[in-house]
Amino acid sequence: MKPHILQLNPILIPAINDKLAQRYTVHRLFEQSDKDAYLREHGASIRGVITGGHTGIQRDMMEKLPALEVVAVNGVGTDAVDLEYARSRKLPVTGTFGALTEDVADLAVGLLLATCRGICSGDRFIRAGNWVRYPQPSAIPLARRVSGMRVGIVGMGRVGRAIAARLAAFGCPISYTDLRAMDDVPHTFVGNLVDLARQSDALILAAAADKAEGIVNAEVLKALGPQGYLINIARGRLVKEDDLVAALKAGTIGGAGLDVFVDEPNVPEVLFGMDNVTLQAHRASATHETREAMGELVLASLEQALAGKRPEFSLTT
């Protein structure tokens, strides 16, 4: 008899869904109209849960799953999971750590290039037929060079290091802040975020920082300055969004590239008309390669836990 698994979010890779169906009886809670009734009917048989970083799983749901042996997060964010309760039940909570690194770092650099060089606004200019109407070079403002920019990275973990490696190839001096200085990186540690912003032409947020909130505020943005750029591929709530909007409107900073927001999918509409802002819909890991790798890590976590082993990427056991 196949183990029963509860799936809280869809997985978009068919090959992963096929493997799940081959190995488990999968209960897709996200397809159910009456989720409480569905849990009452099937909850006692559930041995594993697959969820996403945003959805997570809270104590009240885990309490309805008495046979639960593992929570496999298809992502790296665990702030929506009640980790303390999971620890109290000795439940492994796993993430897909490492699978997202390259694509997230790629998008961070892409957002910096797109914002500084006006790639998206230039594309819109041409699509609107404006190049024909306004062929003079001055119709499009001059852009900002990325090569050689002083880059400050907030969070020198896997993603922060991958971003640093990419931008070092652009000749960018790299500084960073984190909970502590890292002995195994060649970059300059700056202990204070305001100081890091003041010393940077571009500030890139790459911190997991599950419990941090609003660390990039008006003071940090003022320190970044009118020639500075903010890139966020970490967590939307790391930025005080009202302060960011005000800074962009006032020209306190030069621009921003944003993949994450405070209240997704709701993005401040005032940003839509700003040519110095590049927007993405939380897509940093959204490639076939990364999503397949994430799915394989979810499968591995389920297999290890249900075989009575400690999953490799468990945060709680």
Burial bucket for residue 172 (CB in 10 Å: 0-12, 13-18, 19+): buried
Assess whether 282 carries a catalytic annotation: yes
Assess whether 187 carries a catalytic annotation: no
What distance lies between CA 64 and its chain's CA centroid? 29
Phi and psi for 212 in degrees, rounded to 5?
-80, 150
Give the residue from 102, 99, 103, 96 showing the smallest Cα distance to 50: 96
48 with 68: CB under 8 angstroms? yes
Pick the catalytic residue: 144, 235, 241, 291?
A: 235
The encoded tokens of residue 282 equal 């939380």
Assess whether 28 carries a catalytic annotation: no
Cis ω for the linkage preceding 265 (within 30 of 0): yes
Pick the catalytic residue: 28, 237, 282, 303?
A: 282
* Order of strands across the sheet that contains 229-232: 188-189, 174-177, 151-154, 202-205, 229-232, 255-258, 277-279
CA pair distance 3, 175, nearest whole angstrom: 48
Rounded to the nearest 5 percent, the helix, strand and coil shares of the chain are: 40, 15, 45
DSSP characters for 176-219?
Answer: EE-SS--TT--SEE-S-HHHHHHT-SEEEE----TT--S-B-HH
Q: Tell me the Cα Rg of the chain.
A: 22
Pick the catalytic residue: 31, 63, 219, 264?
A: 264
Residue positions annotated with a catalytic role: 235, 264, 282
